[in-house]
Structure 1
Amino acid sequence: MTHSESSVDYAQDRAGVEDTVAAFVLALDARDIKRAVRCLAPQVTWDYESVTGRPAARLSPADLEARWNATIVHTDASQHFLSLPHIRTDGERATCVVHARVEMRLATSGGSPYTATNGTYTFGLIRAGSDWLIDSVTMALLWNDGNPRIMELAAEKGQRR
């Protein structure tokens, strides 16, 4: 393979990785959970321990779909701000590390109506034909602002429906 061919392959892989990560978070923010799930591998290591204190877990897309249908869809709005993707590919695997700010809004009877999580996401991806699928998500928390109970309150709101 010539240098120009490997550069083209890397550019295509990089674009595919960026597109998968963007499609995933845009779908979550649009409350299109089915579309978000289509970005996932058959098993996903979900690691929000630095945010929630719960250890990382291997989950199926159906597990994550149920989680999001019980929480995020009951918030008033969310927005994932991701920047400066640092992408590495190695054959059938890729990683994408980004700065992240995730804001959630929920009208509450008490406390702040929003929370913001600031840190870095590390997305692990596997090649699936010509596409990439997310098989791990790790949030490394730097700091939080606002109401840390927003997702808990959203789940309670969903249970009342």
Structure 2
Amino acid sequence: MDRLDIIDTCNRMAWHADQREWEALADLFADEATLDYTSLNGGEPVTLTPAQIVEGWRTGLEAYAATQHLLGTHLVTVDGDGAVCTATFQATHRKANASRWTLGGTYRFDLIRTGGEWRITGVVMTAVWSDGER
């Protein structure tokens, strides 16, 4: 059952971001989470609160008319109240002028069980390819 709950938590991150369901998105994260998007943006990983994560994603995603983040090929390892889920992804971002930017690669999610629910404590996005206008 843990495996399914973990996969569901990771999938919900993509779903809530695409649907612009910001409060539900924030609820998926632990009190602090480390985000590592350095393969795409350079820089260093950052540790943020759920509110900070949502504000950053809201700002970035609202530049697009629509987005679709698809996750698949989930691999889950559970160790007590901790877990790691890796998944492939493809993310399409469409602007109002119909131009598209599509990105593919992998995600690594670190999770903890707290209060009987799985929360994300870390996300590492590794970009492997992209196509179109960013």
Q: Distance in 2 between matches of 1:113 and 1:15?
A: 35
* Alpha-carbon distance, 1:127 to partner: 0.4
CA-based RMSD of the aligned residues comes to: 1.2
Q: Distance in 1 between matches of 2:23 and 2:30?
A: 13
Q: Distance in 2 between matches of 1:48 and 1:18?
A: 20
Q: Distance in 2 between matches of 1:81 and 1:130?
A: 26
- Do structure 1's residue 89 and structure 2's residue 75 form an aligned pair? no
* Alpha-carbon distance, 1:33 to partner: 1.0
Aligned to 2:129: 143
Aligned to 2:15: 26
SS in 2 for 1:67: helix
1:10-49 CA deviation, whole Å, 9 max, x = no partner? xx11011011111221111101111111100111110000
1:70 counterpart letter in structure 2: T
Tell which deviates more after alignment, 37-46 or 74-83: 74-83
Aligned to 1:103: 92
Aligned to 1:131: 117
Quick check: which one's strand share is greater? 2
1:139 counterpart letter in structure 2: M
1:103-153 CA deviation, whole Å, 9 max, x = no partner? 111124xxx7111111000011010122100110101111111112xxxxx
2:45 counterpart letter in structure 1: A
Q: Distance in 1 between matches of 2:127 and 2:58?
A: 23
**Pairs aligned (count):** 134
SS in 2 for 1:54: coil
Aligned to 2:106: 120
Aligned to 1:45: 34
Q: Which runs of 4+ in 1 moved over 3 A?
A: none
What is the TM-score with the length of structure 1 in the denominator? 0.79
What is the TM-score with the length of structure 2 in the denominator? 0.94
1:50 counterpart letter in structure 2: S
Is the radius of gyration larger for structure 1 or structure 2? 1
Tell which deviates more after alignment, 121-130 or 66-75: 66-75
2:38 counterpart letter in structure 1: E
- Do structure 1's residue 67 and structure 2's residue 56 form an aligned pair? yes
